[in-house]
Structure 1
Amino acid sequence: MTSPAPTVAVGILYPGYSAEDDYPCAETLLGTPAVRLPLVHTEMREDAHRVDALLGIGADDVLAAGVRALQQSGAGPLDSVMWACTSGSFVFGREGAAAQVAALEAVAGVPASSTSFAFVDACARLGVTRVAIGATYPDEVAERFVVFLAGAGIDVLSLSTRGIVTAAEVGTLPPAAVLEFAAAADHADAEAVLLPDTALHTIAQLDALDDRVGKPVLTANQVSIWQGLRLAGADTPRAGLGSLFAHTATGSTSRA
């Protein structure tokens, strides 16, 4: 008799409360082999898509406390840890975001990454170098993501923003609004559309997003989970989670 494949556990550090229910939804959709996504809410000193607030959200002491909470939660052994926050990583710049991940990995004792680097690696997996962005953030924050991607050789052809200040408000956007936002953000020459906010509910409609736009749509919670699985050595094609999860392992990655 063949033994069942072991469960893979990706610890999720998630700031505040907005779209954290995307993660149990993903556990259901991921299927076999089984994946656990134990999640802790890290301290959000201020819920604001503003540079100073985001630097506080992604501070090393905040993430270290999140790792300790995961370790004390009864989640069991972890195979990787993800800082599931895009703006709370790219706002530090590429070098600062890499230092953030290194500090997180040192505390966690397992491979770690952040959503910003997950977007870079997801683009590499799909062979994408030209993108359009649909950002819920204000312009000042969204433009920092453009710079972050440029440092990885990814050309942003268009940037659409909604200027929403709080993650809590982003989490209330209904599925139909998310689909239309992605479609409106597209650019004819873009190879993919990126939706960089883990406060945005997307996991239940990843295939629908791809179908609506007619090309891969990469979302923050999607790439965070994918990156955690990749770092855990469980990077296998899976259906129902968009183009990214359907691809086999090819292309270089950032490692961070």
Structure 2
Amino acid sequence: MRPELHLGLLYPTRDCGEDDFLALAGKLDPGLVVDFAYVPWGEKVGRLDDLDQAGKHEAVRELGEPDRLSAAARFGTRPDVVSWACSSCSFTRGLGGAREQARVLEDRLGVPASSTSLAFLTALAHLDVRRVALASVYHRDTTATFADFLAEAGVTTVHSVSADAPSDRALAAWDGHRITALATAADHADADALLIPETALHTTPLVEDLEAALGKPVLTATAVTLWDASRALGTPPVRPGSGELFAMR
């Protein structure tokens, strides 16, 4: 029997989408143990819902400071791999900034490290996808920042929608119908995949149906984070019914 593998996830807000990560991890590999550590928001943030767009942007950038991530990376069991499981807090610093976050975490913990944003790029390369549509829950300016991040890696955004949700805690309460409506609105005939970049959303039960309806891969923040971590630990799992990302090695 293969020994347990420990994945350490740095996460921004307690009691949001952790259960979605655990549900997918259990489906993919019963031997994958997921442990969370929480990165504290800045003292001046208060309630995200109360901040304007500029304030949210600065709060997100502050949360993603490499030293802040490193200080928060304290897990009950030393992880075999660690990931910064937050989309916006990794892509708002650009591709170089995301790589710096991963480098600092690797130096701190001595294990492979990544982030949700870097995982999107690795997953897109794995599927040989270069044209995408974005089902974004963010403000249009933040959506544009993600499109710029993708462009740095040679990925073109052909269409996007922006829901401008107030906070990750609000997004954790979205039901499947609302997520599906956002994904459907974002799809475009010229896109070879649809991306849903938010780790607070509960997307795991929806991926297979969304892919069947749209006729293309649907990459969610939860799925790419776990797939990328599994890849770093060895061979990514192949699990029917978990989406196209998990259908091929």
What TM-score, normalized by structure 2, do the two folds share?
0.91
Deviations 1:165-216 (A, max 9, x none): 2111111110111112111110011000000111111122221221232211
Q: Which residue does 2:185 correspond to in 1?
A: 184
**For residues 1-256 of structure 1, what are the structure 2 equivalents within 5 Å?**
4-17=1-14, 18-31=16-29, 34-45=31-42, 46=45, 48=48, 50-68=56-74, 70=75, 73=76, 76-248=77-249
Identity %: 36
Superposed displacement of residue 61, structure 1 = 2.8
Q: Which residue does 1:254 correspond to in 2?
A: none
Q: Which residue does 1:253 correspond to in 2?
A: none
Amino acid at match of 1:187: H
User: In 2, are the aligned partners of 1:11 and 1:39 still within 8 Å (CA)?
Assistant: yes
Amino acid at match of 1:28: G
Superposed displacement of residue 41, structure 1 = 2.1
User: Partners in 1 of 2:26 and 2:99 — Cα distance?
Assistant: 31
User: Partners in 2 of 1:149 and 1:24 — Cα distance?
Assistant: 27
User: Partners in 2 of 1:108 and 1:215 — Cα distance?
Assistant: 37
User: In 2, are the aligned partners of 1:131 and 1:156 still within 8 Å (CA)?
Assistant: yes
User: Partners in 1 of 2:170 and 2:68 — Cα distance?
Assistant: 22
User: Partners in 1 of 2:166 and 2:143 — Cα distance?
Assistant: 12
Superposed displacement of residue 163, structure 1 = 0.8
Amino acid at match of 2:62: G
What TM-score, normalized by structure 1, do the two folds share?
0.89
Superposed displacement of residue 67, structure 1 = 1.3
Superposed displacement of residue 24, structure 1 = 1.5
User: Partners in 2 of 1:159 and 1:177 — Cα distance?
Assistant: 16
Amino acid at match of 1:56: E
Task: Specify the SS of the correspondent of 2:226.
Answer: helix
* Greater alpha carbon shift after TM alignment, 129-138 vs 164-173: 164-173
Task: Specify the SS of the correspondent of 2:208.
Answer: helix
User: In 2, are the aligned partners of 1:8 and 1:234 still within 8 Å (CA)?
Assistant: no
Root-mean-square deviation over aligned CA pairs: 1.5
Amino acid at match of 2:24: A
User: Partners in 2 of 1:186 and 1:10 — Cα distance?
Assistant: 32
User: Partners in 1 of 2:220 and 2:158 — Cα distance?
Assistant: 17
Amino acid at match of 1:97: A
Task: Specify the SS of the correspondent of 1:21.
Answer: helix
User: In 2, are the aligned partners of 1:206 and 1:241 still within 8 Å (CA)?
Assistant: yes
User: In 1, are the aligned partners of 2:66 and 2:100 still within 8 Å (CA)?
Assistant: no
User: Partners in 2 of 1:31 and 1:232 — Cα distance?
Assistant: 12
Superposed displacement of residue 236, structure 1 = 2.9
User: In 2, are the aligned partners of 1:134 and 1:182 still within 8 Å (CA)?
Assistant: yes
The unaligned stretches of length 5 or more in structure 1 are: 249-256
Superposed displacement of residue 44, structure 1 = 2.5
